[in-house]
Structure 1
Amino acid sequence: MLERISYYIKKYEGVLLYLIFGVLTTVINMVVYYILFASLLLPNLVSNAIAWLAAVAFAFITNKIWVFKSKSFELKIVIKELFAFITARLSTGILDMAIMYVGVDVLKRNSLYAKIFANVLVVILNYIFSKLFIFRKNKE
């Protein structure tokens, strides 16, 4: 039984780590958003943008080191990965902003529900971008 569990953990290690760090990234995004929007009373989109920046910084570091195990810290490679990562995250960040704007400002829905919905879509798309384009393993 333990062998089987160990086998699946090893087999799906990347996905499991992405889910763990994805949850942590989402928590950072939501906590920062909540503090700024509900406690400090900053505008919705300002709060969302700052929360997004904090989450992207955390996600790049954790994805590079632990999830996709990109070993190179050569400046040229890190800059290339960072540029691709930020570009991908900007596209999903725009989706996040659009969902938050429509959900909260236009439709007057609960900001927490809108944020959860946005984050589910964003996490899925970010994994696909990271796995296929940003931290892909080059087969030589």
Structure 2
Amino acid sequence: MNNKDSKIEIISYLFFGGLTTLVNIITFFILNSLLGTDYKLATSIAWILSVIFAFITNKRFVFKSENSSSQEILPFLTFRIMSYLMDIGLMIILIEVIHFHPLISKILVNVLVVLFNYIASKYFVFNRKTYSSMEGGK
């Protein structure tokens, strides 16, 4: 990948990652602040919706992957579950231990989650080299 393609990929990821983050935060806000849902349940539901959105946009628009979705869904979900555990764990620490406001906590945690998800998606999930080596270099 040349330098120009790399910059376009990063900009695309930031754009769609930003939209994914908005899906996550808006869902959390609606559930937690407006509907009074417990922050842990609101975080979990927001995670599910944002993961679905992220998989579709990362595959099609960011990494332009031509691999089958079935090859990518398991590693994608594995890393997203890891980021969910990071998300919920940090939310518990920030809200219950440090006593931060839930929405501010959600925004802060999402910065780390977005960075983790980019690295995981770029190098492990939507990486053409990963799948070509699994297929014997085809």
TM-score range, shorter chain: 0.7 to 0.9
List alignment gaps of at least 5 residues for structure 1.
Answer: 1-7
After TM superposition, the score normalised by the length of structure 2 is 0.88
The 4+ residue runs of structure 1 with deviation greater than 3 A are 8-11
Q: Deviations over 1:47-93 (max 9, x none)?
A: 00000000000000000001011123xxxx31220111010000011
| Residue aligning to 1:59 | 54
Letter in 1 for 2:40: L
Assess, with a 3 A threshold, how the Cα gap between structure 1 residues 108 and 15 changes in structure 2: closer, same or farther.
Answer: same
Letter in 1 for 2:128: K
| Residue aligning to 2:36 | 41
Superposition pairs of residues 4-83 of structure 1, within 5 angstroms: 10-72=5-67, 77-83=68-74
Q: 2:82 aligns with which of 73, 82, 91?
A: 91
Pairwise CA distance, 1:107: 2.0
Letter in 1 for 2:83: T
For these two proteins, the number of residue pairs brought into alignment is 130
Cα distance in 2 for residues equivalent to 1:115 and 1:57: 19
Bigger relative CO (Cα 8 Å, ≥ 6 apart): 2
Q: Deviations over 1:84-107 (max 9, x none)?
A: 101000001100001111111222
Letter in 2 for 1:131: K
| Residue aligning to 1:123 | 114
After TM superposition, the score normalised by the length of structure 1 is 0.87
Q: Equivalent residue of 1:101, what SS?
A: helix
